[in-house]
Amino acid sequence: MTEIIQKVKNLSIGFKSKKGEEILILRNITTNIKKGETVGIVGESGSGKSTLALAMMGYVKHGLYTIGGECEFNSSNLLKMKNRDLEKIRGRKIAMIPQNAGQALTPNLKIGYQIDEALQLHSDLKEEEREQKISELLNKVRLPSPETIALRYPHELSGGQQQRVAVAMALAGTPDLLLLDEPTTGLDVTTQAHVLELLNFIAKDTGTSMVYVSHDLGAIAQVSDRIIVMYSGEIVLEGPSRDILKRPIHPYTHGLLKSIPKLSLAGLPESMPGSQPQPGIIQGGCSFFDRCNFSEEKCKNNSPQLEYLKELNTRVRCFNYEKLLKESQINQNVKKIKNNSKDKEILNLSEVSISYAKQKLLDQIFNRISDDNPTVKDININIKKGETIALVGESGSGKSTILKSIAGLLRTKDGFIRFEERRNLSSDLKERDPNDLRIIQLIFQNPDESLNPNHTVEEIIAQPLKLYFGLKGKELKKNIIDLLQKVRLGEFYMSRYPRQLSGGEKQRVAVARAFAAKPDIILCDEVTSALDVSVQAAVLNLLQQLKEDFGTTYIFVSHDLAVVRAISDRVAVLYQGRLCEVGPSNHVYKFPSHPYTEVLLGAVLEPDPDIKPKLVAEDIVEERPPEKGCSFQGRCSRIVGDICKKEIPPWQLTDSGNAIRCHIPIKELQKEQF
């Protein structure tokens, strides 16, 4: 039997509420980490996964305290150790890789110095040896030319490179256990796939045990041997990664996997009702009872125990797992979305360019923008009434910039934004009349930021109603209740503040506020990326339903290709503010496609251990679009020759109505699919 390096025994961590009650964040956790294995801990926000990972290195966040149990590492309980003894273990034996490497690295120290510091603390190497070790470590995390990287400051590196440096620093002490807290969450799709591949390599190469904490089942599926699923502070399912992802026998995991949109499925996945309970609310009974499709009367009052199933090597916390055992695999039912688009054009962007360049004094006087190489250039899109068009691309592709310009928040440099074939919308907010402002509404990524924390739900939804329709008194109230019902929230939500709502509920309020203006077009800026997986599908379903009811047009911005696949009728792929490909989503997701689309599709992480991401291009981050030629020339693996660097590629139409902007002939693009 392999050696166990970390034992967590009956661990409970919690805090005292204002009223003096003990509220548990972790409830009676027992698990082991074996030498050399990678364990994925997956759960929604608030499930206690990060608290568990931190406890594994003997750290309990300020305000929380250990109620019972222990974390044993090398047969000593970390939670009872003195700080001085812990310092010897942290970094040397157990290392941590944080979520946001950009914030974890000291901004005014060079990379080499920071790694050297880690080496001084956690190894016994002499000065000359350390220097060599630094380039060795940077090499190991596959950073190009380690010597130059070591002399740079953190802000001179891209997000992916910073994350690699964080990995190198964690490896400096040659730890036995690596804790990774959402290490790829803030990264772009392609970078994420590269970092995960690197982590896989390191796990094999060094034999280090890893604990990988994430909310993303796709990422977990790529790295872990074993998966622990957490729900409101408890382990609900634990077992070999393949079994859990292919045949989940806990209703929560089952529902979760069903509700994740996948690239291979067009249409909206089933959604899971409700949201995870807040800590302290569960008194007796199963914590998943309210949302479970398999629940019985006994689940309400009796809490199930974690049961070990020998034949599956799995532990599960459910009375009815046998029902799920019979289902051989997950049957994902998707609701095909109806294409409501009419031939009538509602919004036309023609030759739109947007520049962030600072104006020169002369330009300021003449009130013009001059920039030869603007951030966004030559955007021509025709949007039909009632369709959902998605803008897709990595960060920096200009997708949100385009949304802002449509909303009038950012001035365009050139080009027109035309509404319903007749009216040009001014690119300056102040020049738009109230009706122009009403027809376009925005829904933002993070509902925590888009709702004023000092307003009640009633006040939030009342704002557009008062502003555009001048409603007052009873009529106003009636309208608010109507809108709340449309987003499936009860009347009693009116008096709540945003902080009293869950993430999904907040986003519903934001949706209600957008629809309150009776808009023709709604701009959705990454509306589901701040939400938990189980809530995401419900919000997508709601948006689709509202669209069918009101005939609204959505312009949907997202970096998540699976979500885009689920909801959109048409997709526009952007790179560096230039369009690469536009077409019906069924066809964009099939070949032939633009080389960049290929890269994006290849890097998507699916919650399936059999589907590995395909790493086509390097994960370089380009600061500026190239001056001449194709926007993707810097990363394209299929460059034809000089023509790509000199001439802007022409639009080519495929038989299926897909427009691709590439120098490679369509037929050849089709040939080289993988």
Partner 1 sequence: MKLDNIYQEEKKSNFAKVAEIIITMASRPSGFIGLSILIFHVVLAFISPYIAPYDFKAINPTLMLQAPSAEYWFGTDDLGRDVFTRTILGGRTALTITFFGSLIALLWGGLLGIFCGLVGGKTDDIVMRIVDAFLSIPWILAMLLIVSLLGTSTEVLIPALGFFYGKGIVRVARAATHDVIAKDFIVSARARGHSNFSIIWNEIIPNVRDAILVEGAMRWSWMLLGFSSLSFLGFGVSPPTPDWGLMISNARGLMSFAYWSVIAPIVGLSSLIIGINLTADAFAKALGIDRSTKAPV
- 531 touching partner 1, by CB under 8 A: no
- 15 touching partner 1, by CB under 8 A: yes
CB of 389 to partner 1, least distance (A): 19
- 517 touching partner 1, by CB under 8 A: yes
Amino acid making up residue 486: K
Among 168, 451, 483, 621, binds partner 1 (CB under 8 A): 451
CB of 157 to partner 1, least distance (A): 24
Instruction: Say if CB 569 and CB 585 are below 8 A apart.
Output: yes
Among 8, 57, 64, 566, binds partner 1 (CB under 8 A): 64
- 312 touching partner 1, by CB under 8 A: no
- 476 touching partner 1, by CB under 8 A: no
- 59 touching partner 1, by CB under 8 A: no
**91 vs 447, which CB is nearer to partner 1?**
447
- 446 touching partner 1, by CB under 8 A: yes
Distance CA 116, CA 119 (A): 5
Q: Considering only 103-111, 201-209, 427-435, 545-553, which stretch makes contact with partner 1 by CB under 8 A? A: 427-435
- 62 touching partner 1, by CB under 8 A: yes
- 275 touching partner 1, by CB under 8 A: no
- 490 touching partner 1, by CB under 8 A: no
Q: How far is CA 144 from the centre of its chain?
A: 27
Site size toward partner 1 (CB under 8 A) is 49
- 409 touching partner 1, by CB under 8 A: yes
Q: Considering only 257-265, 390-398, 431-439, 639-647, which stretch makes contact with partner 1 by CB under 8 A? A: 431-439
**25 vs 588, which CB is nearer to partner 1?**
25
Among 173, 255, 464, 607, binds partner 1 (CB under 8 A): 464
Residue partners of 204: CB distance under 8 A and separation at least 6:
none
CB atoms near residue 655 (< 10 Å): 9
Instruction: Enumerate long-range contacts of 538-541, CB under 8 Å, 24 or more apart.
Output: 538/259, 538/271, 538/272, 538/273, 538/504, 539/504, 539/507, 539/508, 539/511, 540/261, 540/268, 540/271, 540/566, 540/567, 541/268, 541/271, 541/335
Distance CA 36, CA 210 (A): 7
**409 vs 643, which CB is nearer to partner 1?**
409
- 103 touching partner 1, by CB under 8 A: no
- 456 touching partner 1, by CB under 8 A: yes
Beginning with the edge strand found earlier in the chain, give each strand of the sheet holding 76-77 in spatial order: 22-34, 4-16, 65-73, 76-77
Q: Considering only 19-27, 195-203, 235-243, 629-637, which stretch makes contact with partner 1 by CB under 8 A? A: 19-27
- 496 touching partner 1, by CB under 8 A: yes
Distance CA 420, CA 345 (A): 6
- Of residues 36-55, those binding partner 1 (CB under 8 A): 45-46
**Unique residue bearing structure tokens 């330009």:** 363
Residue environment code for 66-92, b if the CB has 16+ CB neighbours within 10 A, otherwise e: bbebbbbbeeeebbebeeeeeeebbbb
CA distances from 287 to 48, 240, 248, 275, 301 (A): 14, 23, 18, 11, 10
**Unique residue bearing structure tokens 């029902």:** 323
**323 vs 466, which CB is nearer to partner 1?**
466
CB of 189 to partner 1, least distance (A): 23
Distance CA 606, CA 563 (A): 12
**Between 457-469 and 503-516, two packed helices, what is the crossing angle to 10 degrees?**
10
Q: Considering only 82-90, 138-146, 372-380, 406-414, which stretch makes contact with partner 1 by CB under 8 A? A: 406-414
- 499 touching partner 1, by CB under 8 A: yes
Q: Considering only 80-88, 133-141, 266-274, 426-434, which stretch makes contact with partner 1 by CB under 8 A? A: 426-434
CB of 13 to partner 1, least distance (A): 11
- 429 touching partner 1, by CB under 8 A: yes
Give me the helices (H) in 428-551, please: 434-439, 447-450, 457-469, 473-486, 503-516, 533-550
Among 94, 230, 407, 524, binds partner 1 (CB under 8 A): 407
- 453 touching partner 1, by CB under 8 A: yes
Among 205, 449, 475, 548, binds partner 1 (CB under 8 A): 449
CB of 453 to partner 1, least distance (A): 7
The residue ranges of DSSP E strands in 20-131, in sequence order, are: 22-34, 38-42, 65-73, 76-77, 94-97
**23 vs 125, which CB is nearer to partner 1?**
23
Amino acid making up residue 593: S
Among 500, 637, 656, 673, binds partner 1 (CB under 8 A): 500
CA distances from 429 to 433, 438, 556 (A): 9, 12, 21
- 278 touching partner 1, by CB under 8 A: yes
- 298 touching partner 1, by CB under 8 A: no
Distance CA 378, CA 630 (A): 12
CB atoms near residue 348 (< 10 Å): 18
- 437 touching partner 1, by CB under 8 A: yes
**Between 533-550 and 503-516, two packed helices, what is the crossing angle to 10 degrees?**
20
Handedness of CA 637, 643, 647, 651 (dihedral sign): negative
Residue partners of 623: CB distance under 8 A and separation at least 6:
none
CB of 409 to partner 1, least distance (A): 6
Work out whether strand 38-42 and strand 226-231 pair parallel, antiparallel, or are unpaired: parallel
Helix (H) or strand (E) holding 10: strand 4-16
- 344 touching partner 1, by CB under 8 A: no
Query: Residues in the site for partner 1, rule: CB under 8 A?
Result: 15, 17-19, 23, 25, 45-46, 61-64, 278-281, 407-409, 429, 432, 434, 437-438, 440-442, 444-446, 449-456, 463-464, 467-468, 495-497, 499-500, 513, 517
